């Protein structure tokens, strides 16, 4: 069973490279290409591919907004962002919009196919460059405690330490200790990264974190 | 000593008028004395000469040599020669009038007052009228010649000066009215203008264009000042527009460059990486493989550098809104500056792009200042709503900083950071406040109201 993929990117050379990547894989089938957001939407509606690789910056309509449209119209299409932006906030914004994957365009062919397969299976794929892999740091991943998991979920919703402390009826200092421990365990440098890594390692589910 | 205009003007009015009043008064007094002497010598002469004639004509009493006709003629002679206002009469020792000129009936009334014989004096009748009167004995006849002039008849018009106090009062009143007029039209408008101009913030405020109660010269002065203030305001406006244009053009240019790099070279090099990888996948000799690997490394490095350049010029993630942009910025800054920087965004609404950009740049600058100049180890960035305003606060635990009154002063001294922050805020119609915190550290506070008119 092949995974049907479409590719939307306004840069022809980038498209050409990625097309070759996909075509080298036997279980992936590229069913269409689009050079802008409007064309991409038409293609998505017409072809209903399993996975849509969407550039964030495109003329017509950007990838994040396309992902949201797919989510809102309940199409059976999984959006994956394929972009040059390495800002973690873009990852968050994309995931909020309904994207299940976030890959940088400098991705290797192996990573690309792995990403497509992961999301097609219902998983979540985040590029190692935006949320570093644990293997990179050569460190064992230690499980979060129930309290830490709770604190992380609150923090992910954008609550400040003070608000988390008030909600969980603990001191603000305790919240900060928990956060520091979470960062340490996940190998994150900040809240956003902790969120992304927790998602990546399946510590928390996307639905828990975003919705 | 301060010489006040009003005092000078009052003196300038009062000194000459009192001088004139004094000279006039002295003249009047002198005049009155002279008139008195004239009147005295006049009545003395008249009485004396008539008495002499009588003595010549009648000789001793009882031996009256003249008949009635002659007496009449002499009387005529006597009265003919006296064509001036005044009276003359011949009275006997009991005060009966023997002969008189017309209208001399008044004389006996005055005569009773004990006039010394031979010298003139001033007497007043029961009505208060003033007369000069003289009596001369007419030789051995036992008669007296009485001569008198009435002051009110002879010198009446000249004597009006006796209403001196009224005139002095009148002049004083006129003087006061002129001082008041000078105050109202000259001194008060001049003072008002002086106060207004000395408190005027040149380039920001305008003096009132006209003062209808002022004299023409002051109104003219006011017009000139108004004109100058307008010029200063226009210049300051122009300066502000220049600075605003510079900031705007710079931002536009930066974002254009970032976009061009992102859409052009960054994509090209990314495509290049793809092609290198595809070439490697198609199979190469070990030497070729090594070269291609080096090429790929170089290209990946170029991509990272270009991405960093884009972020520095104009971060594309500003499009995500201020909340997310601040999170991204703070996470990057804390990594880069190796300090603990927290961010707390509690503002539900989206802000306009120019406000987002201004706040973003202020945070960038303020956090750098805190860490670099204030040596802060902790910086906290907060965005929240307060009374319909979007408030941004950057607080640190550094050395603290006392801001100058005028940020432009810092710019003159070469410290552009604070001046730039202030400029960015004023361009969006917001306010920037920097203050030293009591426990050490600095607070930078920006306030922008949704109703603020952005330039």
A102 pLDDT exceeds 90? yes
Closest partner CB to A109 (pick from B267, B277, B307):
B277
Question: What b/e string do you get for B87-114 counting C-beta neighbours within 10 Å, with b at 16 or more?
Answer: bbbbbeeeeeebbbbeebebbeebbeee
B328/A89 CB distance under 8 A: yes
Closest partner CB to B317 (pick from A90, A108, A161):
A90
What are phi and psi for residue A3, nearest 5 degrees? Answer: -95, 125
A48-61 per-position pLDDT tens digit: 999 999 999 899 99
pLDDT of the residue at B241 = 85
Q: Note whether residue B133 is domain-resident.
A: yes
- CA B278-B283-B285 angle, to 5 degrees, is 125
pLDDT of the residue at B240 = 81
Supply the DSSP string of A93-129, one letter for each residue.
Answer: HHHHHT--EEEETT--HHHHHHHHHHHHTT--EE-TT
- Over the Cα atoms of chain B, what is R_g? 55
- Return the closest-CA partner of residue A14 out of A68, A66, A84: A84
A136 pLDDT exceeds 60? no
Size of interface A-B (CB pairs under 8 A): 88
Do residues A17 and B278 touch, judged by C-beta distance below 8 A?
Answer: yes
Closest partner CB to B300 (pick from A24, A106, A109):
A106
Closest partner CB to A90 (pick from B262, B320, B334):
B320
Q: Which residues 44-63 of A have a C-beta within 8 angstroms of B? A: 57
Nearest chain A CA: its distance from B238 CA (Å): 38
Q: Note whether residue B269 is domain-resident.
A: no
Task: Show residues of chain B in contact with A11, CB under 8 Å.
Answer: 263, 267, 270-271
> Which of residues B122, B141, B165 is at a domain's end?
B165
- CA A48-A54-A57 angle, to 5 degrees, is 140
Nearest chain A CA: its distance from B306 CA (Å): 10
Task: Show residues of chain A in contact with B282, CB under 8 Å.
Answer: none
Longest Cα pair distance anywhere in chain A, in angstroms? 55
Q: Note whether residue B304 is domain-resident.
A: no
Give the CATH number of the domain where residue B150 resides.
3.30.450.20
ipTM higher than threshold 0.85: no
Digit-by-digit pLDDT tens for chain B (455 residues) are 677 887 888 888 888 888 888 888 888 788 878 888 888 888 888 888 877 777 666 544 444 555 555 655 665 555 555 555 677 787 777 777 777 776 666 676 666 656 677 778 887 777 777 788 888 887 776 778 888 887 776 655 555 556 667 877 888 888 889 888 888 888 888 888 888 888 888 878 888 888 888 888 889 999 998 999 999 989 988 988 888 888 889 889 999 999 999 989 999 999 999 999 999 888 888 888 889 999 999 999 999 999 989 988 988 888 888 888 898 898 888 888 888 888 888 887 888 888 999 999 999 999 988 888 888 888 999 998 888 889 999 998 888 877 777 766 777 776 778 888 888 888 888 889 888 888 888 899 999 987 764 44
CATH architecture under which domain A135-210 falls: Orthogonal Bundle (1.10)
> Which of residues B105, B135, B165 is at a domain's end?
B165
Cα torsion B14, B19, B24, B29: sign = positive
> Which of residues B165, B190, B225 is at a domain's end?
B165
The CB-side HSE value for B172 (13 A sphere, CA atoms) comes to: 7
pLDDT of the residue at B93 = 74
**B-chain residue closest to A88, CA distance:** B328
Q: Does A160 touch chain B (CB under 8 A)?
A: yes
- Return the closest-CA partner of residue B70 out of B83, B81, B56, B84: B56
B271/A16 CB distance under 8 A: yes
Best of A15, A17, A94 to substitute, by most chain B Cβ atoms within 10 angstroms, is: A17
Number of domains making up chain B: 2
Task: Show residues of chain A in contact with B297, CB under 8 Å.
Answer: none
pLDDT of the residue at B65 = 52
Task: Show residues of chain A in contact with B262, CB under 8 Å.
Answer: 57, 84
Task: Show residues of chain A in contact with B381, CB under 8 Å.
Answer: none
pLDDT of the residue at B373 = 86
| C-alpha dist (Å) from residue A4 to B22, B129, B325 | 121, 139, 35
The CB-side HSE value for A68 (13 A sphere, CA atoms) comes to: 11
Q: State percent of chain A over pLDDT 70.
A: 94
Task: Provide the residue range defining the domain that includes B108.
Answer: 5-165
Strands B389-396 and B431-436, how do they pair?
unpaired
Structure tokens given for B349: 């609404």
B317/A85 CB distance under 8 A: yes
| C-alpha dist (Å) from residue B161 to B30, B155, B174 | 12, 11, 18
Domain limits of chain A? Answer: 3-130, 135-210
pLDDT of the residue at B399 = 83
Closest partner CB to A89 (pick from B307, B320, B342):
B320
Strands (E), B138-274: 144-150
Top mean-pLDDT range of A130-144, A190-204, B18-32, B378-392: B378-392
A134 pLDDT exceeds 60? no
Q: Note whether residue B424 is domain-resident.
A: yes
pLDDT of the residue at A139 = 53
Class for domain A3-130, per CATH? alpha beta
Q: Note whether residue B244 is domain-resident.
A: no
Supply the DSSP string of B50-106, one letter for each residue.
Answer: HHHHHHHHH-STT-----HHHHHHHHHHHHHT--SS-EEEEE-TT--EEEE-TTGGG
Do residues B134 and B140 touch, judged by C-beta distance below 8 A?
Answer: no
């Amino acid at each position: 069973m092949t995974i049907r993929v479409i590719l939307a990117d306004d840069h022809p050379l980038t498209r050409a490279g990625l097309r070759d990547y996909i075509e080298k894989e036997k279980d992936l089938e590229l069913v269409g290409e689009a050079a802008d957001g409007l064309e991409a939407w038409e293609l998505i509606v017409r072809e209903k591919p399993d996975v849509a690789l969407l550039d964030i910056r495109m003329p017509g309509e950007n990838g994040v907004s396309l992902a949201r449209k797919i989510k809102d119209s309940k199409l059976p299409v999984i959006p994956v962002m394929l972009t040059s932006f390495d800002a973690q906030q873009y990852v968050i914004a994309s995931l909020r919009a309904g994207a299940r994957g976030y890959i940088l365009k400098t991705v290797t062919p192996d990573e690309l196919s792995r990403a497509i397969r992961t999301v097609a299976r219902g998983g979540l794929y985040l590029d190692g460059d935006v949320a570093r892999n644990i293997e990179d740091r050569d460190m064992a991943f230690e499980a979060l405690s129930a309290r830490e998991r709770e604190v992380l979920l609150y923090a992910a919703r954008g609550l400040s330490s003070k608000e988390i402390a008030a909600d969980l009826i603990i001191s603000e200092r305790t919240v900060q200790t928990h956060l520091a421990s979470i960062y340490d365990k996940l190998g994150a440098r900040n809240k956003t990264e902790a969120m992304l890594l927790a998602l990546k390692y399946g510590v928390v589910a996307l639905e828990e974190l975003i919705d | 000593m301060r010489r006040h205009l009003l005092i000078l003007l009052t003196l300038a009015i009062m000194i000459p008028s009192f001088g004139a009043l004094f000279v006039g008064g002295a003249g009047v007094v002198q005049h009155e004395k002279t008139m008195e002497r004239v009147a005295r010598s006049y009545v003395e002469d008249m009485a004396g000469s008539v008495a002499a004639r009588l003595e010549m004509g009648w000789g001793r009493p009882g031996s009256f040599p003249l008949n009635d006709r002659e007496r009449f003629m002499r009387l005529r002679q006597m009265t003919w020669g006296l064509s001036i206002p005044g009276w003359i009469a011949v009275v006997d020792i009991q005060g009966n009038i023997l002969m008189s000129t017309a209208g001399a009936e008044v004389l006996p009334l005055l005569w009773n007052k004990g006039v010394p014989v031979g010298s003139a004096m001033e007497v007043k009748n029961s009505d208060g009228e003033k007369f000069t009167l003289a009596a001369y004995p007419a030789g051995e006849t036992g008669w007296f010649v009485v001569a008198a002039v009435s002051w009110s008849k002879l010198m009446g018009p000249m004597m009006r000066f006796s209403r001196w106090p009224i005139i002095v009062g009148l002049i004083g009143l006129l003087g006061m009215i002129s001082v008041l007029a000078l105050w109202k039209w000259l001194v008060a408008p001049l003072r008002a203008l002086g106060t207004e101009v000395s408190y005027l913030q040149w380039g920001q405020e305008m003096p009132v264009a006209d003062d209808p109660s002022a004299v023409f010269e002051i109104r003219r002065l006011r017009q000139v000042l108004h004109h100058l203030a307008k010029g200063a305001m226009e210049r300051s406006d122009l300066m502000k527009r220049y600075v605003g244009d510079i900031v705007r053009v710079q931002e536009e240019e930066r974002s254009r460059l970032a976009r061009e790099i992102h859409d052009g070279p960054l994509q090209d090099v990314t495509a290049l990486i793809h092609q290198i990888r595809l070439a490697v996948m198609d199979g190469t000799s070990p030497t070729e493989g090594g070269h291609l690997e080096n090429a790929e490394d170089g290209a990946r490095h170029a991509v990272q550098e270009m991405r960093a350049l884009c972020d520095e010029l104009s971060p594309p993630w500003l499009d995500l809104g201020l909340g997310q942009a601040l999170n991204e910025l703070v996470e990057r800054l804390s990594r880069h500056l190796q300090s603990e920087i927290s961010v707390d965004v509690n503002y539900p609404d989206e802000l306009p792009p120019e406000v987002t950009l201004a706040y973003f740049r202020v945070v960038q600058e303020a956090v750098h200042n805190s860490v670099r100049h204030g040596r802060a180890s902790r910086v906290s960035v907060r965005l929240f709503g307060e009374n319909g305003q979007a408030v941004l606060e950057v607080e640190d635990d550094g050395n603290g900083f006392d801001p100058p009154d005028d940020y432009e002063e810092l710019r003159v001294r070469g410290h552009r950071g604070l001046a730039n922050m202030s400029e960015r805020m004023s361009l969006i119609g917001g306010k920037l406040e920097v203050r030293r915190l009591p426990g050490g550290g600095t607070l930078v506070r920006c306030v922008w109201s949704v109703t603020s008119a952005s330039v």
